[in-house]
Amino acid sequence: MELMVNLMINGLATGMLIFLLAAGLTLIFGLMDVLNFAHGGLFVWGAYAGIFTYMYTESFLIGILGAIGTGALLGLITEKLIITPVYGNHIQQILITLGLMLVLQEMIKVVFGPNGVPVKTPSYLAGSWEIGDVIIIKYRLFIIVVGFVIFGIFQYMLKRTKIGLIVRAGVQDKDMAQALGIHIKQVFLYVFMVGAALAALSGMLMAPYSGVIYAEMGMEYAILGFIVVVIGGMGSFSGSLLAAILVGLAGSFMAYYVPVLSLAVNMILMAIVLIFRPQGLFTMRKERST
């Protein structure tokens, strides 16, 4: 029983981090029809910028803000320079965002050095609670709470506010939204920035969780993000939460019971979903016209 609870918490925490990464990816894809292969680069820049701010200011909160700011800024530059020229051309988007990923990853090594950086959890989040035999690591709980809070905020924004209405209208039909007088390009830019900021936040929160940050982590977690987006359904926000939790839990249980399979389980999940239900498990909307 205790084991189950521990594995659950592990899985949920990982799932939440992947969710934050995938949420940006899925929003950007749903609205702009752009699959951002550079998302992992934004993730790792968030981690590095956030952690260095945190080490400099000694405040984890300012570190988080630094990560979010960096992410949004990089998102702004990326959208303006890289994405805008290739709207509507899928192959060029794939190629160019992958190139950007490469540049971002190498820039990390130039700016922050090629070696991994060890990261300490802030003192008030370090340690764990023991309830009976169940050990709950504080930081993991913190991640889960943050994940749910962010999910709640976004769900509220998307479903209850004017901004959300515009974004949802854009996802459903770009041309119609534009005909109704919405500056859709502007919306694209903001959504891209928000998505990039979420990726950066995810990277920042991941840093104390994994204990070390390194340039290649971007690609590793980006792949998990892609898997979640595919399983959850491209463009579906709540779908990606469910899928992220599924991937997180599958990973943590497999790592305990069948360690050999733990790295492959996500790929297998994705392959199965893509082959039998390419539109994703949790999509309610009608199939995207292809």
Partner 1 sequence: MKITLQQISFFLILASLVILPFVNDSRTLIILLTQIFIFGILAMSYDILLGYTGIVSFGHAMFFGIGAYTTAVMLKQMDATLTMFLLSIVTGMFFAGMISFLVGLLTLRLKSHFFAMLTLAFSGLFLVVAEKWRSVTYGNDGFTFRAPDIFKERITFYFFVLACLAVIFIALYRFVNSPTGRILIAVRENEQRTKSLGFNTLHYKVIASVVAGIVASLAGSLYSLSLRFVNTSVLTMDITLDALLMTIIGGVGTLVGPLLGAGVIEYAQHALSGLARDYPIFERWIIFFGILYILAVLFFPKGIIGSLRMLFWKWRSRRKGNKKSPAALPHKKERFE
- Of 174, 152, 191, 281, which is closest to residue 228 (Cα–Cα)? 281
Pick the stretch among 1-9, 134-142, 202-210, 225-233 that binds partner 1 (CB under 8 A): 225-233
Helix, strand, coil % (nearest 5) of the chain? 75, 5, 20
Show the tokens assigned to 130. Answer: 């023991």
User: What does the block give as tokens for 216?
Assistant: 């290649």
Q: Structure tokens of 63?
A: 């570190």
Rounded to 5 degrees, φ, ψ at 35 are: -95, 115
User: What residues from 47 to 86 belong to the interface with partner 1 (CB under 8 A)?
Assistant: 82, 85-86
The H or E element that residue 128 is part of is strand 128-131
Bridge partners (DSSP) listed for residue 212: 118
**Neighbour count for residue 5 (Cβ, 10 Å):** 15
Which one, 92 or 115, has the nearer CB to partner 1? 92
- Please identify which residue in 89, 115, 161, 186 interacts with partner 1, judged by CB under 8 A: 89
Distance CA 278, CA 272 (A): 9
281 touching partner 1, by CB under 8 A:
no
Residue 169 CB, nearest approach to partner 1 (Å)? 23
Q: Is 98 in the site for partner 1 (CB under 8 A)?
A: yes
Instruction: Provide the mask over 12-41, with x wherever binding to partner 1 is found by CB under 8 A and - wherever it is not.
Output: -----------------x-----x-x----
274 is a site residue for partner 1 (CB under 8 A)? yes
Nearer Cβ to partner 1 (2/220):
220
| Binding flag, residue 110, partner 1 (CB under 8 A) | yes
CB of 249 to partner 1, least distance (A): 19
Instruction: By CB under 8 A, tell whether 260 contacts partner 1.
Output: yes
Q: Which of 90, 159, 160, 185 binds partner 1 (CB under 8 A)?
A: 90
Is 107 among the residues that bind partner 1 (CB under 8 A)?
Answer: yes
Q: At what angle do helices 265-276 and 237-257 cross, to 10 degrees?
A: 140
